[in-house]
Amino acid sequence: MSLSRSRRRFLGKTLALSGSGWLALSGLAGCGGGNDGSNAPTPVDRTVDLPIPPLVEGRMRADGVRTFTLRMQPGETELVAGLRTATLGYEGAVLGPTLRMRRGERVRIQVINAIGEPATTHWHGMHVPAAMDGNPHQTFGDGESWTAEFDVLNEASTLWYHPHTEGKTGEQVYRGLAGLIRVEDEHADALGLPSDYGVDDIPLVIQDRRLRADGGLAYLETAHDLMGMKGDRFLVNGRERPRVYLPAQRVRLRVLNGSNARIYYLGFEDDRPFQVVASDGGLLPEPVTVNRLRMAPAERFEIVVDLSRDLGRGLWLRSYTGEIVNSLYMARGLADTFDRGTVDLLRLEVDRNAIHTPVVPQRLNTIVALEPNAPDRLFTLEVTNGEFTINRKPMDMRRIDERVRLGAVEVWEIRNNQGMLHPFHLHDVQFQVLSRDGAAPPPVERGWKDTIAVLPFETVRIVARFADFADPDVPYMYHCHILEHEDRAMMGQFVVT
C-alpha cells in the first residue's frame, strides 16, 4: 500500500473522532482537549528496582565479524506496579539488550520479525550505507528476517535502535521496541570516566505511556494524541519510577529520551550541578556543568553526577519541564499537566562505598569545525492542508527530495513555522550545530548530534559532511522525531551520489 493511501485512511478515521485537535496544528487556535489520562489507574506510591538491559557483545565469528541476533517479539511486562501490559521487545518482553561494539570492527545484526506485522529496525545515529540503515525501504514481514552488516565508523557514543516502519513507527516504539547501542573506542577508554556497565555507568531510557485500567497500552485514543502521543505514567528502562542502587562516587548516566513526543528537563531534586560529557554522537569537547538539561525525543546525553557525599541517602532524578514549558509550546492546549509541572523519574539510592575512582578530564574530545563546500539547503517544518510537512510536502516513499554529492559539507537551515517544538533527525551522519536564531548554540550542543530540538518559530543551522556512502537508489531520511509527526508525513528523503 502506498504511503499516501494508508495515511489518508488513517487520518479519515481519526478525524472522525474529533476535529478539534487539528486546529491547534496551525499554532494559532486553542484546543480544549488535554491528554491528562483521566481514566488511567491511580499511581501506586512505591518504587521498584531499575531494570538494566543486558549488555551483549554478540559472537565474534571466524571471519572477524561481530554478530548479533535481535528477535522482535511479543511479551508481557509489569510496566507499572500491579498491572500486566502486552508489550513488544527485542530478545525479551520489552525494550532490548544494549549492543556493545567497538569503533573499527565489522558487525552483522540479524533482525527477526515475530511481531505479526511488517517492521524495520533503524540504527539511530549510526553512520552506515543507506541499504543498511533500517529505514522504511528495508521493511520485512512477520516470520522474515533482515540482516544489516557494516563497519563501525562512529566514535564512542550512545546510539539506539528502533523500528522505522512506514506509518507505524510511533505505535511499534510505543509498544516497547527500542534498545541502546554502546559504541566504545580507545580514546574514550583512556579518559577514566565511569564505565562499569550497570554499576557506575547506567543506561536510562526515559519514556511515558498511558495505560488502560486493564493494563493495556492506550495509543492514539483521541485526535489530540496525533499532535504527539504523551502518557501520564513515566518509565525508566520499562518500569515506573524505579530505584537504582549506586556507589558513593561519580556515576555516569547514559540518558535516552525514548518517548514518542514528551520533552524532559532533567535535574536532581536538590538542584545539584552535574556534568554533561556527551551528546548524541560522542563526547563533548569539554564537560559542561549544569543543573538542568532539556531532552527532546531521540536525543541522548551522557551525564556524570557526583554522589561521593551521599552515602546512605537517596535523591530523585526529575523532569522540571514546567520551568520551560512556555518555550516548548506556544500553541495553546498542547502542554498537558505534566509538561506544566514536575515529574519524578528515577530514585537514586547511594548504598555502597566507592567502587571506582573515576574522573572527568577537562578535555574530552577534539571536534574540528566543518567548513561548508556546497550551497545551503532550507527545510521548513509546518502544517500544510492539515498534514505535518517539510517544505510543504508530505513524505512520499517514491520521491527523492534532495540529492547530496558524496563528500559535500552542507549547511542545512531548519525553520520551524509552528508553535510547537519539532526534534529534527538526520540519518547517515552526525552534524554540528552552528546557530539558533543566529546565536551560538549552548555548550551542551557543541558536540556531535543527530537530532536537534527546533523550538517554536525558531531557525536552527546545522552543518554535516556526507562522506563514505553513496547510493543513487536507496535514500536516507530526515524527519521530525515526534513519532506521530513522522508517521503523519513530516519526513523527507535524500540520496548521496
Strand, helix or coil for residue 481: coil
Cα separation, 360 vs 364, whole angstroms:
8
- Closest listed residue to residue 304, CA positions, set 236, 358, 365, 366: 358
Grid cell locating 52: 538494566
The secondary structure element, H or E, covering residue 306 is strand 300-306
> Shortest gap between Cβ of 264 and Cu ion (angstroms)?
16
Compose the 92-111 pattern: x for residues touching Cu ion by CB under 5 A, - for all others.
--------------------
Binding part of the chain for Cu ion, among 107-115, 163-171, 347-355, 414-422 by CB under 5 A, reads 414-422
Cα separation, 44 vs 51, whole angstroms:
18
Report the residue number, 137 or 422, with the smaller CB distance to Cu ion. 422
Cα separation, 448 vs 450, whole angstroms:
7
Question: What residues contact 361, with CB distance under 8 A and at least 6 apart?
Answer: 191, 192, 287
Binding part of the chain for Cu ion, among 205-213, 315-323, 417-425, 466-474 by CB under 5 A, reads 417-425
| Residue 216 C-beta-side C-alpha neighbours within 13 Å | 5
- Rule CB under 5 A: choose which of 162, 233, 243, 422 binds Cu ion: 422
Report the residue number, 297 or 475, with the smaller CB distance to Cu ion. 297
Told to check if 485 binds Cu ion by CB under 5 A, we report: yes
What does the DSSP 8-state code read for residue 368?
A: P
Cα separation, 197 vs 432, whole angstroms:
28
Q: Are 459 and 413 in contact (CB under 8 A)?
A: yes
Site for Cu ion in 138-167 (CB under 5 A): none
> Shortest gap between Cβ of 388 and Cu ion (angstroms)?
6
Report the residue number, 107 or 433, with the smaller CB distance to Cu ion. 433
The secondary structure element, H or E, covering residue 89 is strand 85-90
Report the residue number, 179 or 297, with the smaller CB distance to Cu ion. 297
| Residue 221 C-beta-side C-alpha neighbours within 13 Å | 18
Cα separation, 383 vs 21, whole angstroms:
13
Q: Are 304 and 360 in contact (CB under 8 A)?
A: yes
Told to check if 480 binds Cu ion by CB under 5 A, we report: yes
- Closest listed residue to residue 198, CA positions, set 50, 340, 390, 418: 50
> Shortest gap between Cβ of 107 and Cu ion (angstroms)?
31
**What backbone phi and psi angles, to 5 degrees, belong to 327?**
-85, -15
Report the residue number, 250 or 485, with the smaller CB distance to Cu ion. 485
What does the DSSP 8-state code read for residue 154?
A: S
Q: How many CB atoms lie within 10 A of CB 439?
A: 7
Binding part of the chain for Cu ion, among 14-22, 230-238, 432-440, 474-482 by CB under 5 A, reads 474-482
Report the residue number, 262 or 422, with the smaller CB distance to Cu ion. 422
Q: Are 399 and 391 in contact (CB under 8 A)?
A: no
Told to check if 421 binds Cu ion by CB under 5 A, we report: no
Greatest CA separation found in the chain?
A: 62
Q: Are 479 and 468 in contact (CB under 8 A)?
A: no
Binding part of the chain for Cu ion, among 116-124, 273-281, 422-430, 438-446 by CB under 5 A, reads 422-430
Binding part of the chain for Cu ion, among 72-80, 194-202, 329-337, 481-489 by CB under 5 A, reads 481-489
Report the residue number, 444 or 482, with the smaller CB distance to Cu ion. 482
> What is the size of the binding site for Cu ion (CB under 5 A)?
4
Can you list the alpha helix ranges (DSSP code H) found in 18-145?
Answer: 20-23
Compose the 368-407 pattern: x for residues touching Cu ion by CB under 5 A, - for all others.
----------------------------------------
β-pair type (201-209, 233-236): antiparallel
Binding part of the chain for Cu ion, among 167-175, 264-272, 419-427, 455-463 by CB under 5 A, reads 419-427
Report the residue number, 251 or 462, with the smaller CB distance to Cu ion. 462
> Shortest gap between Cβ of 492 and Cu ion (angstroms)?
13
Cα separation, 121 vs 118, whole angstroms:
11
Binding part of the chain for Cu ion, among 303-311, 408-416, 440-448, 473-481 by CB under 5 A, reads 473-481
Report the residue number, 387 or 410, with the smaller CB distance to Cu ion. 387
> Shortest gap between Cβ of 310 and Cu ion (angstroms)?
38
Report the residue number, 183 or 452, with the smaller CB distance to Cu ion. 452
> Shortest gap between Cβ of 349 and Cu ion (angstroms)?
37
Report the residue number, 240 or 484, with the smaller CB distance to Cu ion. 484
Binding part of the chain for Cu ion, among 54-62, 82-90, 446-454, 485-493 by CB under 5 A, reads 485-493
> Shortest gap between Cβ of 422 and Cu ion (angstroms)?
3
> Shortest gap between Cβ of 324 and Cu ion (angstroms)?
17
> Shortest gap between Cβ of 321 and Cu ion (angstroms)?
17
Report the residue number, 163 or 423, with the smaller CB distance to Cu ion. 423
Cα separation, 138 vs 120, whole angstroms:
6
- Rule CB under 5 A: choose which of 25, 482, 483, 489 binds Cu ion: 482
Report the residue number, 175 or 485, with the smaller CB distance to Cu ion. 485
Cα separation, 59 vs 363, whole angstroms:
34
**What backbone phi and psi angles, to 5 degrees, belong to 69?**
-125, 130
Binding part of the chain for Cu ion, among 152-160, 348-356, 445-453, 478-486 by CB under 5 A, reads 478-486
Q: How many CB atoms lie within 10 A of CB 372?
A: 14
**Residues within the interface to Cu ion (CB under 5 A):** 422, 480, 482, 485
